[in-house]
Amino acid sequence: MADTILIVDDTPANLQVLGQILKGNGYAVIAALSGKDALSALQKRSDIDLILLDVMMPEMDGFETCRTIKERIESKLLPVIFLTAKTETADIVEGFQSGGVDYITKPFNSEELLARVRTHVELKKAREELSALRGIIPICSSCHSIREDGGYWEQVDVYMARHSDVAFSHSICPTCMEKLYPDLFGES
């Protein structure tokens, strides 16, 4: 499945050029003509991997659009690359302060744009994989102890009590009851 890029620019010709470059390099493309259209696309689609965002747009500029994207939990970690004609240092700094991960000035070099897109999509996927792996807890298949980050093994209830607000009550399941107390389960 192709990585999906959301392009946001108020100039249709820019959307067309960017779309052709990205599609020609295997990306799926969604286009939006405004910040509001971009926010709407993000609400409808959960498969967007990266946003290329113009700064100079009417109603809601790119910086405001990016800040709004980063306020939403579902798109907080979505990489935003600014693609704009604004070249002043103050604009570049504002781009990063508003949540952008990169800043490319127009006119742009296609190969450089593609390299940055590829890099940030790969970084996004690596962060997602790391986040998923962080949720994996090694557990002993015999005694069910859990290995903590320091490499020490401890009982599940102790580990959970230290890492969450979970409290355990203890009991014995029927299978273990029969195994531990076979005389209580004699043949009748």
Please indicate, yes or no, if residue 139 is contained in any of the structural domains.
no
Judgement on whether residues 128 and 153 belong to the same structural domain of the protein: no
Residues spanned by the domain of 102:
4-134
> For every one of its 188 residues, what pLDDT tens digit does the chain have, with 9 covering 90 and above?
899 999 999 999 999 999 999 999 999 999 999 999 999 999 999 899 999 999 999 999 999 999 999 998 788 889 999 999 999 999 999 999 999 999 999 999 999 999 999 999 999 998 888 776 666 777 777 777 777 767 778 887 777 777 777 777 778 888 888 888 888 876 54
- What's 102's DSSP letter? E
Judgement on whether residues 87 and 158 belong to the same structural domain of the protein: no
Judgement on whether residues 169 and 114 belong to the same structural domain of the protein: no
Judgement on whether residues 99 and 179 belong to the same structural domain of the protein: no
Q: How many domains does the chain have?
A: 2
> Which pTM value belongs to this model?
0.72
CB 60 within 8 A of CB 9: no
Please give the Cα distance from 57 to 35 (Å, whole number): 8
Which of 113, 134, 155 finishes a domain? 134
Judgement on whether residues 164 and 96 belong to the same structural domain of the protein: no
